Amino acid sequence: MVTVHVPWSPKAGSIPVWDEITVSIIERFGLPGDKYTTELTDTYMNFVFDDDHQGLICQLLVSDYI
């Protein structure tokens, strides 16, 4: 199990950046439920993957944003 932790930070905190992050994850992995789940708070969003390989790919996918 891999958790991709995306904080609400100045770099990733704007709406256009969050749109890019979520759209890129949904395009690659689909909607939450089958391959990953999400956890959301007021300071971060976690994407929790059951498959370690897909979690690593997601980390690489969003690494420029966080």
Structure tokens at 9: 């930070």
- What residue numbers bound the domain in which 27 lies? 2-62
Contact, 2 vs 52, CB < 8 A? yes
Which residues of the chain are under the pLDDT cut of 70? 9-15
In angstroms, the CA 45 to CA 25 distance is 13
Q: What is the reported pLDDT for 12?
A: 57
Q: What confidence score (pLDDT) does residue 10 get? A: 59
Count of structural domains within the chain = 1
What pLDDT sits at residue 6? 86
